Structure 1
Amino acid sequence: MIGVRSGAAPVRTMVVWCPDWPVVATIGAEGVSPERSIAVIEKGLVLACSAAARADGVKRGLRLREAQARSPQLLDFAYDPVRVDRAFEPMISALEEMSPNVQIVRAGSCALAVRGAARFYGGEHAAALAFLERFAELGVTDARVGVADGMFAADQAARLPGVDLIRIVPEGGSPGFLRGLPLQLLDEPELTTLLWRLGIRSLGDFAELPAADVRSRFGEPGARAHTRAAGLDGSQVVPRIPPEVRESLSDFEPPLDRIDQVAFGVRAAAERFIGDLAAARFVCTALRVELTSERGERRDRSWLHPRWFSAGDVVDRVRWQLQGGSTIESALSSPIARVRIVAEAVDHSARHETGLWGSGSEERIHHGLSRVQSIVGHEGVLTASIGGGRSPRERQILVPWGDRIEQKSTAPSSPKSRARGGRMPNRTAGVAGAGGARSEEQAPWPGSVPPPLPTTVFERPRAVLVLAAGQQEVAVTARGALTAEPALFSSEAGGRQLRPLEAWAGPWPVYERWWDSAARRRFDRFQVVDADGTAWLLALERGSWYAEARYD
């Protein structure tokens, strides 16, 4: 997990990287010679390979059959993440003994803020040398260290080929260091392919693009990639959760069949759980509650918090999960034998300290809403949130206080959608389109309205009137063609206050559930600007015009 502060300056970071760690861990577990041609395979592709395999032309991303053709003596092993992570645990433990707050980036790579280690060991190079010596004592002699401003630059410094095991980029030198590196290091395949077609070949070329233009064209994922390429990565080192304080177990013998008994039984364990995290200077921002019944049934649910969990908050989540509800799966059908509480997301407590004079009205609001929620139940206090959907109205969702919408990684059922152009001036062009918005947190919704989104969304669609210049009705044929060009508009269905249109764009046909004859729906979206300069998001369905939203 990597914490990112918006607009934060890069933090001096050290990354320790062990090359080909999946191969190293596999060699140790299988007892084969490291001189052999070895490849670790994940989903039919080469994940990592040994030096002998690379000498034969094997590289990461090759299909297994092609790798075997290049290296006939290749030994292939299936990737076992548990085995690989377990083999890296002694390295992390040894590093934590020398310097606290170590973050695991991935198996074989870890990061830490370098300032404290540099002060203790007498400089960045001395600290890096001490870490490499400790790794060598544990049998890892080819580890590399990179030090730079920001996590991304430090990682690239550690991985850059060369004979030097320690590479230190001077303070302020990360942009220049990254400038000549290839664009593929961003590990954003779709973005990299598009930028390559635009003639951008290096991180420096990408960094020279205006940040505002990158954000408007590629969205938040592109903006974050642009920040990394420019050497301005503000990612902070987030240390891992200590294994001994990661979870809490409460076993009941005999099993309990009353909610108040279970809640009382887990209170002491919840206090120890939160206390252990506080002693390690952590707060829990997301946890998972697992309930196991006497018959072996198990129900689990992840819970979020707008700030961080206290012991009372943990007990409330256990009680709400036992009570069940419309958004929570009902409790088990037999008495509860075990309650397991697991910290899924933590943050350093220093970033959640209350100010000298408190945090003002925000703290009082949170305390009041949480208190009311503990009395009336989890779904008794709702707050507005933005979810997925094709129309602005569908995206407005009420969720319980403290929860947030979890976007699924799978795409929704994809409707057919296509676009036709109208005449719209530059001030409103590009506000709607056929593809819909797409972001890292949200699945694609073909036919949705991309940003900038309208500011006023009507709770119920408002009937309007759109006419051609001769005041005849405007419709869309089955082939998506307009029967007449929109020229007059009234925000009332009766036709009063009929005004000329300054601009319009569309139609953009949207087909929903086209495979279901009973529930299929087709409508066409338009954007118009009336004589007063107000922009509207309109829809035409079954011959009726209505306004979905207004751009104020």
Structure 2
Amino acid sequence: MLVVWCPDWPAVAAGLAAAVPAHLPAAVFSANRVVACSAPARAAGVRRGMRRRDAQSRCPELTVFATDEGRDARLFEPVAAAVEELAVGVEVVRPGLLAVPVDGAAGYFGGEQALAELLMDQVSGRAGVECQIGVADGLFGATLAAHRSAIVDRGSTKDFLAPLGITELDQPESDRAELVDLLRRLGLRTLGAFAALTERDVVSRFGNPGLLAHRLAGGLSERPPHRRRPPPELSVPKEFDPPLDRVDAAAFMARTLAERFHAGLAAHGLACTRLGIYATTENGEELSRVWRCAEPLTPQGIADRVRWQFEGWLRADVRDRPTAGVARLRLEPEETVEGNSLQLGLWRGGAHGMSDEQDERAGRALVRVQGLLGPESVFTAVLDGGRGPAERVRLVPWGDQREATSPPETAWPGRLPQPSPATVFAEPVPARVKDAAGEEVSLTRRRELTAPPSVVALPGTKPRQVLDWAGPWVVEPRWGGTGSQVRIQVLLAGEPALAVLLTRTDEKWTVEGMYD
């Protein structure tokens, strides 16, 4: 396998889109942390995972960009097209990384070294970006070889991987951070040390995810080499009248088509690991691209890749852009695995007592509601960072990426400790809090309670005695705001007992939430 890797691609793509010169430091941020940075930014001390404030303190002239997967995929299409002019079978792993079988092209151009040099010149001249080439057995080994611009002899991939750090297993989209951290704490610091363990021991201790990582560390493919041949009826065709010539329309179409494609595979007990996207324009132009994935694709993953590919086709330079809209589209499962390899998401896997058929029907129903009422009509909740219980829940439109914008694990001064209230009121409910002498409990200048709460009166109920309470937690005002909030947790007597979250704001008490 030959891998073409464009280092720091999100930062490179962001700079190209904004016409920022390559010699200026730049970084891409997500949730206020660096996810990619350019070489000049690294030279100034910027690193992945660094907070924005720290990065800008080390490099004040740093150009800041937000993550944009569509932008990254759109600008990577010329790189894939440039490689495709010299080698067949190009597969995009993710924006910034593509793979191609090496045997045929290497034999034609006089060897792997000659092919690598030609591809680097081709990508630099045709797409205007720098790349690194790696050759090894399997995608994982070839990717690490590309990081080091190495060509590994056939059959020597295990020896090449052995001295490398165990953190190499945590590649983008692999979701192995916890496994890698555990291996490091167990003293397995290199891939060779991990590969030396027996498969039986690895499976008994780390389960199936550990076994897949163990195969990679040993220079093997993540999945066995034998694949089931997908039945021809699993391909999903779609015709458009009028033809698609806008990315937003293509993105909306991709959701429904991805659900249909995934449902057809699931009915046969399969999941897709290599997705072929084939399109024909109104003028008869043929467009195609294959996306390779380390993990079986979910409906959202399929929709994302279709959307990215349309962005690459429809927003390319004039010389590379199709002359007409897309009239026909076909999704083809180029490679499949057993469906139980799929890591299921919301409502999946029987956690809520729903079958796969019910899950797919619910998903289609939600997409249908969006089609009738608009994309902002169906939401799911994401746990985000914040101090109060209401601030920590953010609603995301159905089908969009459910990612936290503020890391919930970050220290939030004044944040309410666990557990959070089971019910949070949209509008605070007024309450009265009195001490043992019958006087209203208020705050001192130091924002401490004037006396321990003894009785709490809620609207429409008799006053209840306070059995126990905790707090107060002071919440400072936001920038530009005035005043502050103080929260206390109170357990009230009664049948049954009632636990509430009380907030003191603007000289009055309100009930912010209730506990089960």
The TM-score normalised by the length of structure 2 is: 0.47
The TM-score normalised by the length of structure 1 is: 0.45
